[in-house]
Amino acid sequence: MKSVIPREVETLWTLFTAPTVWALHFIVCYVVMAIYCAKPGIYGLGFNDFRWGLVVFTLLALGFIVFAGYLAWRQWGFGSDDPPHDAATGQDRRLFQGFATLLLSGLSFVAVIYTAIPLIILAECQT
């Protein structure tokens, strides 16, 4: 079966996909709220509009991380082989990278949720 996303990706960059989404989400949340709190009513939007916008952005980020995690799971062979994948073979290198990417995706997923918790609870800018 031909896959849309190539199965053989010989690059380390996929490892950082989920943490990169986490970092972007963090920056966007903080910058957007900092701008709103410094300039209330900017673009004629209220606090809750920004809040909802960031909630949607959070869901998109979580979806992207889940997708990256799925690709990592696939690279890991869906858990067909147990860690530690420490043999000096191309196969083990791929499995190791897949497993590491999967763990990082899990960490990033939790981190994005933690970043978003204040969005749900705080309803005002602090002066």
Shortest reach from residue 126's CB to other proteins, in Å: 5
Shortest reach from residue 38's CB to other proteins, in Å: 13
Q: Which residues bind other proteins (CB under 8 A)?
A: 106, 110, 113-114, 117-118, 121-122, 124-127
Shortest reach from residue 40's CB to other proteins, in Å: 8
Choice between 63 and 118, CB closer to other proteins:
118
- How buried is 2 (Cβ within 10 angstroms: 0-12 exposed, 13-18 middle, 19+ buried)? exposed
Q: Is 109 left (phi over 0), alpha (psi -120 to 50) or beta?
A: alpha
Q: Read off the tokens for 97.
A: 């990278």
Choice between 59 and 113, CB closer to other proteins:
113
Q: Which helix (H) or strand (E) holds 101?
A: helix 90-121
